[in-house]
Structure 1
Amino acid sequence: MDSAERIQAAAKFLLQSPPGEINDVLNDVRNIISDDDSLQEGVLPALQEYNLAQFIIADVPGSEHQSIISEAAKVDGEEDRFLDPRSKTSFRFDHLSLEASDPQPMEPDTEPEPFRAALESSTLTYLNSHFHEGVASVFATPGSPSKFTVQIVANKYNPTNFWAGRWRSAYTIDLEQEVVSGKILVNVHYYEQGNVQLETTHNLTIPLPPAITPSSPSTSAPKLVALIEDEEGKYQTSLNDAYTEMSEKTFKALRRALPLTRSKIDWDRVMGYKLGAELSASKGVFGESQ
């Protein structure tokens, strides 16, 4: 395999990296490529694709909050420049170092901004109530006063205990068509003495009631987020039910049940078990008087 083929293989590995482990994967493939300059140049498109798809978060320069790096956040006509609507700032993002720089003010479109801001406020309230460490971004669709995008990501990394997880959800809101279409993506990796991953995607469509309109952002936005909250709550419950079912039935069917003693056999003492059985048999035949 030549150098180009090895770099292409490395890029595929990066795209499959579990949450929070892409640097570990990158360091591993560095030992295979042994050429940092070629590696960085060759895998940069894969890193860009990964960061956008995984909703990597960035510290917004000059602000105390974080913003999501995604396709919806990209500034038209600008290479690697992204928008944080909350601070009305655009910034350049380095996909290798994951650092944001060169902040520039960016005024939003005036017509959709009231509803977008109300939707952002309601989304952040929901985020703070239900996610331990979450980040949300709300975008107005350029050129449309009635289309918006809500994105949520929550990461939990615990390398000490060999697990990591990421929740992503994204919703496209069309007030004119009175519908919300979205998806929820969950990825969990557990790797203590093994390698087990959960990767699941849930697509959904929510019809909007007539009461939700662009002309009433202060009352419509909370109702809209409440619909999203209800759908995400039901999906989390379904995941919990599925794992309970697997634990109580599926996993038990895959393994041999414990013996009647409800304890595992100590194979280092197996000869002792055999001798004890023979002595018990002797007592049963000859009686206690022997």
Structure 2
Amino acid sequence: MDSTERIQAASSFLLQSPPGEINDVLNDVRTIISDDDLLQEGVLPALREYNIAQFITVDVPGTQHQSIVSEAARITVEDEEEERFLDPRSKTSFRFDHLSLEASDPQSVEPDEDTESLRAALESSALSYLSSHYHDGVATVFATPGSSRFTVQIVANKYNPSNFWSGRWRSEYVVNLDDHTIEGKVFVNVHYYEQGNVQLATSHNLSLSLPAAVVTSSPGSSASKIFALIDSEESKYQTSLNDAYHEMGEKTFKGLRRALPMTRQKLDWDKVLGYRLGAELAASKGVFGNA
């Protein structure tokens, strides 16, 4: 396998990394490449793709909060060789290192005057929603300049390596006031790896209609009503996942194994050693009988 093939293999492994475990995967693929400089250069595109798709969060320089690195956050700046990402909450753009996961070079950004009032109201509702429903989450709300289109992104991570599991919830909602719609996507990834390796990767798409009263209300009222709809949809999806897990435990997993051995009788584990000893004696008896 040449260096190009090894880089492609390493990149593929990285893109499939479970939540919070990409550094572990990166350390493992170092043995495949055996060249740190080549590894860093070769897998950087994969790291960028992974970070953007997974809504990686970053501490914004000069603030006390985190923002989401995503395609919606990416902005184009003239005469800039490196891409920048926007934190609308602090009205700051920054560079992001996809290897170290750190932000740098903060610069002020003037918001769009026509959309900022509703964007800020959505952000306020998003933060309230987080505190009510997420143990540790980050939300960012982006406005599309010159339109009535807003993108709400939410991510919550839970890493518990001492108990061998990790998980990530991502949701994105595109609010279009012109079309009176909300188009949403929810992604859930869970990895459990104690004495095994089980991963759950599921997604849910939704489309909602916004009543005219929501569109014509004040920014604060509209934002509250929009998040009431989001709350309802996410609660229903959470319930459906819980029901699916229960059914899997009661039916699916039980269907993967026999309820009873071929004898149709339960095995008495206290007698297992006796069964083995009896088999050995029977084998010995056969040998002695042929002597």
Same fold (TM over 0.5): yes
Aligned mate of 2:211, from 193, 202, 209? 209
Q: Find the aligned partners of 1:234 and 1:213 in 2 and give their Cα distance.
A: 24
Against the structure 1 CA distance between its residues 267 and 193, is the aligned structure 2 distance closer, same or farther, given a 3 Å change threshold?
farther
Aligned mate of 1:114, from 113, 117, 121? 117
Paired residue for 2:269? Answer: 265
Paired residue for 1:73? Answer: 73
Say whether the 8 Å CA contact 1:156–1:165 is kept in structure 2.
Answer: yes
Task: Give the 4+ runs in structure 1 shifted more than 4 A.
Answer: 258-264, 272-275
What do you get for the CA RMSD once the two structures are aligned?
2.0
Paired residue for 1:284? Answer: none
Paired residue for 1:184? Answer: 186
Say whether the 8 Å CA contact 1:80–1:94 is kept in structure 2.
Answer: no
Aligned counterparts, 1:32-71, within 5 A = 32-71=32-71
Q: How far did 1:142 drift?
A: 2.6
Q: How far did 1:265 drift?
A: 2.2
Say whether the 8 Å CA contact 2:72–2:142 is kept in structure 1.
Answer: yes
1:141 aligns with 2:147: no
Paired residue for 1:282? Answer: none
Q: How far did 1:273 drift?
A: 10
CA deviation profile, 1:148-170 (whole Å, cap 9, x unmatched): 00000000011111110000000
Paired residue for 1:244? Answer: 246
Report the residue type matching 2:143 in the other structure.
Answer: A
Q: How far did 1:262 drift?
A: 7.4
Paired residue for 2:6? Answer: 6
CA deviation profile, 1:123-172 (whole Å, cap 9, x unmatched): 1100110000000000001331x100000000001111111000000011
Say whether the 8 Å CA contact 1:51–1:69 is kept in structure 2.
Answer: yes
Secondary structure of 2:150's aligned partner: strand
Q: Find the aligned partners of 1:37 and 1:76 in 2 and give their Cα distance.
A: 28
- Alignment size in residue pairs: 274
Secondary structure of 1:71's aligned partner: coil
Report the residue type matching 2:145 in the other structure.
Answer: P
Secondary structure of 1:109's aligned partner: coil
Deviates more, 1:110-119 or 1:72-81: 72-81
Q: How far did 1:267 drift?
A: 6.4
Q: Find the aligned partners of 1:206 and 1:119 in 2 and give their Cα distance.
A: 17
Say whether the 8 Å CA contact 1:60–1:100 is kept in structure 2.
Answer: yes
Report the residue type matching 1:107 in the other structure.
Answer: E
Paired residue for 2:95? Answer: 92
Aligned residues with identical type, % of pairs: 71
Report the TM-score when normalising by structure 2: 0.89
Paired residue for 1:286? Answer: none
Q: How far did 1:67 drift?
A: 0.3
Secondary structure of 1:72's aligned partner: coil
Against the structure 1 CA distance between its residues 47 and 266, is the aligned structure 2 distance closer, same or farther, given a 3 Å change threshold?
farther
Structure 1 runs not aligned, ≥5 long: 276-290
Q: Find the aligned partners of 2:59 and 2:232 in 1 and give their Cα distance.
A: 29
Report the TM-score when normalising by structure 1: 0.90
Q: How far did 1:249 drift?
A: 1.4
Against the structure 1 CA distance between its residues 213 and 91, is the aligned structure 2 distance closer, same or farther, given a 3 Å change threshold?
same
CA deviation profile, 1:193-218 (whole Å, cap 9, x unmatched): 11110000101101101111266101
CA deviation profile, 1:210-235 (whole Å, cap 9, x unmatched): 11126610111100011001000000
Secondary structure of 1:203's aligned partner: strand
